[in-house]
Amino acid sequence: MQDIHELTIICGIDKSGDMEDVESIRICPGEIVGIVGPTGSGKSTLISDIEQLSQGDTPSRRKILINGEAPGRDIRTDPRKKRIAQLSQNMHFLADMTVEEFLKMHAKSRNRNFDTVEKVIRIANTLTGESIHPEHQLTILSGGQSRALMAADIAVISDSPIVLIDEIENAGIKKQEALKLLACEGKIVLVVTHDPVLALMTKRRIVMRNGGVRQVITTSAGEMNVCSELVKIDNYMMSLRNTIRQGGLVEEAIIV
Amino acid sequence: MKLVVVAGTPGSGKTSVLMHTIRSLKQSGMSPAVVKIDCLWTDDDKRFNRLDVPVRIGLSRDMCPDHFAIYNTEEMLQWAREQDAGVLLNETAGLCLRCAPYPDGCLAVCVIDVTTGPNTPLKVGPLLTTADVVVATKGDIVSQAEREVFRERVNEANPNCRIIEANGLSGQGASELAEIIGEMPDVGQELSLRHNAPLAICTLCTGEMRLGKEHHMGVLRHIDGFTEYRGE
Given a cut of 60, whether residue A256 has pLDDT beyond it is no
In chain B, residues with a C-beta closer than 8 Å to the C-beta of A85 are 144
B2-183: CATH class = alpha beta
C-alpha A239/C-alpha A13 separation (Å) is 43
Q: What pLDDT score was predicted for residue A2? A: 64
* Domain contains A89: no
C-alpha B133/C-alpha B180 separation (Å) is 9
C-alpha A140/C-alpha A148 separation (Å) is 14
Average pLDDT over residues B84-95: 91
Same domain for A109 and A62? no
Q: How far is CA B183 from CA A22, B2, B87, B159, B176, in A?
A: 36, 10, 12, 21, 11
Q: At residue B4, what are phi and psi to the nearest 5 degrees?
A: -120, 125
Same domain for A256 and A130? no
Average pLDDT over residues A153-163: 92
Same domain for A170 and A75? yes
CA angle A90–A106–A184, rounded 5-degree value: 70
Q: How far is CA B215 from CA A86, B212, B222, B227, B229, in A?
A: 58, 6, 15, 17, 13
Q: What pLDDT score was predicted for residue B64? A: 82
| CATH code at position A181 | 3.40.50.300
Given a cut of 80, whether residue A62 has pLDDT beyond it is yes
Same domain for A164 and A144? no
Contact A214, A38 (CB under 8 A): no
* Domain contains A211: yes
Mutate to test the interface with B, among A15, A90, A158 (most CBs of B within 10 A): A90
Confidence of residue B204 (pLDDT cuts 50, 70, 90): confident
Number of domains within chain A: 3
**Rounded to 10 degrees, what is the CA torsion of A79, A85, A88, A92?**
60
Q: Percentage of chain A with pLDDT > 70?
A: 97
SS3 state at B146: helix
Distance of CA B80 to the CA centre of its chain: 18
* Domain contains A119: yes
Q: What pLDDT score was predicted for residue B147? A: 93
Same domain for A74 and A60? yes
C-alpha B43/C-alpha A145 separation (Å) is 43
Q: What pLDDT score was predicted for residue A58? A: 84
Contact A42, A206 (CB under 8 A): no
Instruction: For residue A141, give its domain range.
Output: 94-153
Q: Which of A232-241, B131-140, B189-198 has the highest mean pLDDT?
A: B131-140
Q: What pLDDT score was predicted for residue B41? A: 86
**Residue A210 φ/ψ region, left for φ over 0, alpha for ψ in the -120 to 50 degree band, beta for the rest:** left
Given a cut of 60, whether residue A243 has pLDDT beyond it is yes
The sign of the CA dihedral A116, A122, A128, A134 is positive
Average pLDDT over residues A3-30: 95
The 10s digit of each residue's pLDDT in B43-67 is: 888 899 999 999 999 998 888 888 8
Which of the residue ranges A91-100, B182-191, B211-220 would you say has the lowest mean pLDDT?
Answer: B211-220
Alpha helices in chain A (DSSP H): 43-51, 73-77, 99-109, 116-127, 143-156, 175-182, 196-201, 221-245
Mutate to test the interface with B, among A94, A117, A156 (most CBs of B within 10 A): A94
Kindly list the residues of chain B whose beta carbon comes within 8 Å of any beta carbon in chain A. Answer: 115, 117-119, 140-146, 148-153, 163-165, 170-172, 175-176
Confidence of residue A254 (pLDDT cuts 50, 70, 90): low
C-alpha A4/C-alpha A6 separation (Å) is 6
Same domain for A14 and A111? no
Given a cut of 90, whether residue A13 has pLDDT beyond it is yes
Q: Percentage of chain A with pLDDT > 90?
A: 64
Average pLDDT over residues B186-214: 83
Same domain for A14 and A65? yes
Which of A115, A53, A114, A50 shows the shortest CA–CA distance to A87?
Answer: A50
Which of the residue ranges A61-65, A80-84, B46-50 would you say has the lowest mean pLDDT?
Answer: A80-84
* Domain contains A46: yes
Residues 6 or more apart whose CB falls under 8 angstroms from that of B162 comprise: B132, B133, B134, B180
Same domain for A47 and A6? yes
* Domain contains A202: yes
- Do the Cβ atoms of B117 and A59 come within 8 Å? no
Q: What residue of B is the nearest CA neighbor of A85?
A: B144
Tell me the residue ranges of DSSP E strands in chain B.
2-8, 32-38, 55-59, 87-91, 107-113, 133-137, 162-165, 218-221, 227-230
Domain with CATH 3.40.50.300 in chain B: 2-183
Same domain for A103 and A226? no
Q: What pLDDT score was predicted for residue B43? A: 87
Contact B45, B19 (CB under 8 A): no
* Domain contains A123: yes
Average pLDDT over residues B5-22: 93
Kindly list the residues of chain A whose beta carbon comes within 8 Å of any beta carbon in chain B. Answer: 48, 51-52, 57-59, 77, 79, 85-88, 90, 93-97, 102, 105-106, 108-110, 150, 153-154, 157-158
Alpha helices in A3-115 (DSSP H): 43-51, 73-77, 99-109
CB-closest option in B145, B164, B175 to A158: B145
In chain B, residues with a C-beta closer than 8 Å to the C-beta of A70 are none
Strand order in the sheet with B133-137: B55-59, B32-38, B87-91, B2-8, B107-113, B133-137, B162-165
Q: What pLDDT score was predicted for residue A180? A: 83
Same domain for A1 and A77? yes
Same domain for A11 and A58? yes
* Domain contains A146: yes
Same domain for A225 and A215? no
Given a cut of 90, whether residue B230 has pLDDT beyond it is no
